[in-house]
Every structure is written in C-alpha cells, then in structure tokens.
A and B are shown apart, each in its own frame.
Chain A
C-alpha cells in the first residue's frame, strides 16, 4: 500500500495541521480570566463553557480519531458485531441525563475538579478516592496511546513515515512532531486549546462523512451492491478459524454479546476522566441536560461512519491491518485534495481527545495523589504547575508506549481500561444518589471487579492472540457469551451491597460526608455556587 508519498493530500493535511496549531496557542487568550494560575482555569477552562462549546468539546472528546478508525475497522473485519457502537452511544444519553447534572451541582458547590474529589468528599475515604483516581489514570493512558495509533494510520496511508525499510527515527518523526506540538499548546493553553480546535475538527469530520456517505455509494453502485458484496465477503470461510468471516446481522449466539457490550460501554463512558473534565467545564446544569439532547447527532454520524466499513469491502480494499481500511478507502475513492481533508479530519480528531485526556489524567494525579498524599498544603498555583507538567509526562508516556511496544499492547490495555473504568461506577453514581453504600464495601467491590475483569480478559484467546483476544466471555451462571466488563460490574455491585449490610451490622465507621442533599440540585446562581450568572435558568426566577 505504501506506493510513495501522496503529495497533494499531504499538503492539505499539513495546512490544516498548521492552522490548528496556531489556534491552539492563541486559545490561551480566548476568554481569559483574571486569575489564570488555578486548576479551574487551566484544567476546566474557567468552568465557563456554554451549550455549544460544551457540545463541540464533548463531541470532540468522546468521538475520537481512534473511534473513527476502529469502528469501521471492526465492521470491515467482522460485520454486524462491530455496530454495537451505535446502540452504545444511544444508551449513553438517557443514562447521563439522570446523574450528570447532580455531579455538576455537587462539584460546583464544593469545587471538585475530578470524580475522585467527589468520592473523597462524599465518603470521607482517601483510599476509595485513590482507587478511583488510579483506575482513571490507568484507563486513560492507553486511550491516549490509541489516538497516536489513529494518526499513524493516516500517516501510513499518505506514505509518510510508515515504511518498514526506513530507520526508526525517520519513520516516527512525523508522529513526534505532531505530538510535540500538541504537548506544547496543551501546556500553555490548557482545556481552552482542545475546546477551540474541536470546532475545526468537527466541521471537517461532518463534511467528510456527508461527502463520503453520498459520494462513495454512488461510485460503488448503491447500497444494494455494497451490502450484497459485503454479504458475500462475510460468507467466505476464514482459514484461521474455519468459520465464516462475519455476518450482516448478529446470529442468535452473538446477541447477548452485542447487548452486553452496548450496555457495559454505555455505563463506562462517563466514568472516563476526560468525559467528566469536559462536563465540569460547562457553566450550568442546564447546559448539560441540553447537551444530552443534542449530542446524539454525533451518534448518527458514527452510524454512517460505521457503514464505511462495508463500503471498504465492496470497494475491494484489502489490508491486513484493519485499521488502515478506512484511510485506504478514502485514498482510493476521493480525489487527492479531498483525501487530504479527510486525513486532516482524522489527525485533528486525534489531537483534541489526546489533549483533554492528558489534562484529565493530570488533574487526577494533582488533586488525588499529589495533594492528598504528597503535599496537602499545595497552593492553586502549585497545583496548576504540577498538572501542567504531569500532562506532559502522560503524553510522553503514551508516546513511548506506542513507539516501543506493539500496537496490540495498546489495544489490549484499552480493552482492559474499559473494563476497569466501569468498576468505579458504583462509587461514583451510587454516591451521587445515596449515601447508603459503605465506603469499605465499595472499595472491596471495586477490587473484586478489577481482579475478575483482568483475569477473565487475560484468559480470552483469539486465533491471533493467546491472551486478551477479545472483551467477551461466558457469563458464569447464565452460560451466554457476554461483555466481561459488565459481568465484573455485576459482581462488584453484589459485593458492595452484601458487604454494606455486613459493615452496617457491625457498625464500622462510616466516614464523614461533607455534602448535603441540597448540593446535588444546586444550579449556577444559587448561593455558594461559584460561577457567573447564567442566562435565564428555568425555575429560578418568577
């Protein structure tokens, strides 16, 4: 596939890349506050974002470059089973509608920057808070690494840096440059940089999808032909497994897997630190609720994007690494200049989430490890400094990860990360609604879920891998194949409930709850909620 550099596409790509770099640095001046040396400013953009900025920011954050590459890649490889990303993102929004506004309120009342801040305040437990913070950091790191994999896929197809015969430095130089630039403007502008760049990213992505979904099927002879060809391709036997490659609709046996993956992933999504960072940067409860009704636009786009996987099959794209399927499809079907636009969309699509993720991980480290355990009297200025440095370290770590280890390692860890992050759900969402759970029971449940999930995922073999071959396994007691993360989550919950009864019976110390019921419904403008006055909030005035 590496048939020389595609000059026009590369030129367009570099143009957009330079444009967002300039924006990234200028972002520091955008909506600048008087006191920029606080974590609220650097790490949450001053908690001032309205509906549209939040929409772009969350969209740019959740629908990452890796998603754009991996979802159609999964469809390309196996068909229907890869489409679970769509029900997954459908279920996310009614779910967060119920709990995210409560998290926003209590965080604004008490100045929480991370979910661990909340867990510590609610349960008076530094160890539970540490568990949540460490899980968050562990789950985020491989996710950042995968954003790099997304950029690499694009660079490969454009013919830069991918060649096996060049030495490692030349090969990885474009990636190093992209990441150096990203690190620099995240450091200087904080969350404002990805918020501003997200506009460009999304405009490009929507443009590319709209064009692709109309232009490519016309060239391929309509959706009838596309699906007929894909159906034939899936029907052929895969020599490695002796089974058909995939299917256009999931068979009876695959339906549990499909449903549990969708549900488990939906529950996990807003446990990720980067989702919460983007949420807390919004200026009112109403912004969040309104966003749950406009964010699904991205899900529709994701669904259309997934269909590109079938088009890649129908167009006869043959790649051994499925992640190159979509970039290769663009290269084959589009004129060079538009392929460049498409590649820029994916490349910039990697920069936005990578920046937010590194900020989120840095905030967790600063607030819940550095301040809680190393230097309790750190000033806001020191906190910001530590966070900025950690955001750099996190990115360097991700870079080393991608450059030194096989790509599959990052993918395995990301799979594990999804299972792990789901185990923080009972402490966080449980805590948002009730103080009934005992802090030690939650910690024990978390530990059981983590161990079960890790061991179970380790034991999954695939034709190409002995361990971590997939994310689903037989559910004990039910006998169907289901998502490991969800099974671990149920175990976690059972342990937490049973132990809470036990610990309450023996009157174990409950810990101090620094929050009060009214904190969970407070809105901007209420006393003690530190934000500017919101524009017309429902119900607050008569």
Chain B
C-alpha cells in the first residue's frame, strides 16, 4: 500500500543512489575545503547526509509500523 509516509521513506533511501551514481556532478577540484578537492570532501559529506537520511527513514518506518499494528489491533478487537 502506497502512503505518503512510505513515499518519503523511499525517497530518503533513493537519494544517495542518485547523488553518488551521478559522478559528473561532483568530478571537479574546486571549491576545495581546507585544501581537499571538492571530489573528496563532497563524497565524505554524503556519508553524513546519507546516514541522516537513513536515520529519518528508520524513524518513519517505526512510526509506520506502529500505525499499522494499531489499526490491526483495533480491527481484531
């Protein structure tokens, strides 16, 4: 069943794939950060971004599961 919540979860999980597989978007030297070329620090930054996105997906998923078990429990009673 597609709910808005699940669409958001899917987007959180898909975003890193789009960002990382589109190599052309980050294959450049400038701007550098404390001397590190863009190519390197940008990808390391994405480690943090994708971690945050996975955490969001995780929290939303738990909410989704709670909502589902509540409806199920209600129906059984």
Contacts and interface: CB of A to CB of B under 8 A. Distances in A.
Interface of A: 80, 83, 86-87, 89-91, 93-94, 97-98, 222-227, 248-252, 255-256, 258-259, 262-263, 289-290, 292-293, 296-297, 299-300, 303-304, 307, 538-540, 542
Contacts of B1: none
Contacts of B65: 538-539
Given A94-B17, A223-B34, 5 more contacts: A90-B47, A97-B58, A248-B37, A296-B54, A539-B66
Given A248-B39, A303-B43, A97 B54 contact: yes
A97 B57 contact: yes
A223 B33 CA distance: 9
B31 to A, nearest CB: 13
Given A258-B23, A539-B62, A539-B69, A93 B35 contact: no
Contacts of A540: 69
Contacts of B48: 296, 300
A224 to B, nearest CB: 4
Contact of B35 (A227, A263, A303): A227
A297 B38 CA distance: 20
A93 B21 contact: no
B27 A250 contact: yes
Interface in B2-16: 12-14, 16
A300 B58 contact: no
B35 A262 contact: no
A223 B16 CA distance: 27
Contacts of A296: 47-48, 50-51, 54
Contacts of B12: 94
A307 B21 CA distance: 21
Q: Give 4 closest A-B pairs by Cβ, nearest first.
A: A223-B35, A224-B35, A87-B20, A255-B23
B47 A307 contact: no
A262 B37 contact: no
Interface of B: 12-14, 16-17, 20-24, 27-29, 32, 34-40, 43-44, 46-48, 50-51, 53-55, 57-58, 61-62, 65-66, 68-70, 73
B54 A292 contact: yes
Contacts of A293: 51, 54-55, 58
Nearest to B66: A539
B57 A94 contact: yes
A538 B29 contact: no
Contact of B27 (A255, A263, A307): A255
Contacts of B70: 542
A263 B14 CA distance: 13
Interface of chain A: mostly helix, strand, loop or mixed: helix
A261 to B, nearest CB: 10
**Residue among A222, A227, A251, A539 having the largest count of chain B Cβ atoms under 10 Å:** A539
A90 B37 contact: no
B28 A538 contact: no
B27 A83 contact: no
A90 B16 CA distance: 7
B66 A93 contact: no
A255 B24 CA distance: 7
B58 A91 contact: no
Contacts of A83: 39-40, 43
A542 B58 CA distance: 20
A184 B52 CA distance: 41
A91 B43 contact: no
Nearest to A292: B54
B62 A93 contact: no
**Residue among B14, B50, B61 having the largest count of chain A Cβ atoms under 10 Å:** B50
B47 A303 contact: yes
Nearest to A540: B69
Contacts of A262: 20-21
B44 A300 contact: yes
Contacts of B22: 259
A94 B47 contact: no
Contacts of B44: 86, 300, 303-304
Contacts of A290: 58
A259 B23 contact: yes
B20 A91 contact: yes
Nearest to A260: B21
B40 to A, nearest CB: 7
30 contacts: A83-B39, A83-B43, A87-B21, A87-B43, A87-B46, A90-B43, A90-B50, A91-B17, A91-B20, A93-B51, A93-B54, A97-B13, A97-B54, A98-B13, A223-B36, A248-B29, A249-B27, A250-B23, A250-B27, A252-B24, A259-B23, A263-B17, A289-B58, A293-B55, A296-B48, A296-B51, A303-B47, A539-B62, A539-B65, A539-B68
Contacts of B51: 93, 293, 296-297
Given A86-B43, A87-B20, A292-B58, A94 B13 contact: yes
